[in-house]
């Protein structure tokens, strides 16, 4: 999630780096708390923070505070859901062209490099909810057993149900970044703006994210 405000951190944006396989909860004097639980910070600046909601959250709302150099903001209530899938896009808005990889050749999916019907694409998402094994805040995914969502995962491409080959933590990336490998089903109408939708539990992603598909 992204938090906007004033006086949240240093004037210039600072990015976090994992140390010993873990993204920390303090960066350049900035800390973020959900119901008093410190959460991993991806980057911080005076007006914007990138953070990852902790796995310990439960209930329907959480109180969020930001601390910078010992000064703490007033709490803000935010809603909580068991899942809230959202696909990453190339323009970083959560809408438009998906940040997708064509599995066949490793190219970035685009109108110039469409995926073929029957082939697989890899997409990236957030909002997967609780996992098995239990997610660890800020942990970089490694090893043979990667966390996968407890809730069921399904997908459609061009409105047609798609086989989900894998849905779980992205290898080598921080917990909370989900990788989804899908097969493009027969019956999809080829084109440069084929909508892709991800469903985790009862929650679905935006319907205005697309990939390029060819015969």
Q: What is the pLDDT of residues 131-170, one digit of tens each?
A: 999 999 999 999 989 999 999 999 999 999 999 999 999 9
Closest CA to 27 of 69, 63, 64: 69
pLDDT, tens only, 96-135? 999 999 999 999 999 999 999 999 999 999 999 999 999 9
- Look-up of token digits 């849905």: 167
Smallest CA-to-CA distance from 21 within 132, 124, 173, 127 is with 173
Dist CA 190 CA 90 (whole Å): 20
pLDDT band with cut points at 50, 70 and 90 for residue 1: very high
At the topology level, CATH places domain 2-79 in Immunoglobulin-like (2.60.40)
The segment(s) of the chain belonging to CATH 2.60.40 are 2-79
* 33 beta partners: 38, 65
d(CA 182, CA 74): 43
């Amino acid at each position: 999630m992204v938090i906007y405000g004033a006086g949240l951190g240093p004037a210039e944006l600072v990015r976090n780096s994992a140390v010993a396989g873990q993204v920390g909860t303090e960066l350049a004097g900035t800390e973020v708390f959900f119901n008093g639980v410190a959460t991993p910070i991806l980057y911080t600046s005076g007006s914007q923070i990138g953070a990852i909601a902790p796995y310990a959250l439960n209930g329907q709302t959480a109180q969020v505070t930001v601390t910078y150099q010992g000064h703490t903001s007033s709490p803000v209530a935010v809603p909580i859901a068991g899942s809230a899938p959202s696909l990453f896009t190339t323009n970083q808005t959560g809408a438009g062209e998906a940040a997708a990889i064509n599995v066949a050749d490793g190219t970035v999916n685009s109108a110039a490099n469409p995926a073929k019907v029957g082939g697989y694409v890899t997409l990236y998402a957030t909002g997967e909810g609780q996992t098995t094994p239990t997610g660890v805040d800020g942990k970089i995914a490694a090893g043979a057993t990667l966390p996968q969502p407890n809730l069921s995962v399904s997908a459609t491409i061009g409105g047609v149900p798609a086989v989900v080959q894998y849905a779980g933590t992205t290898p080598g990336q921080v917990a909370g970044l989900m990788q989804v490998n899908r097969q493009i089903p027969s019956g999809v109408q080829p084109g440069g703006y084929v909508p892709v939708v991800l469903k985790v539990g009862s929650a679905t992603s935006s319907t205005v994210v697309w990939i390029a598909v060819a015969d």
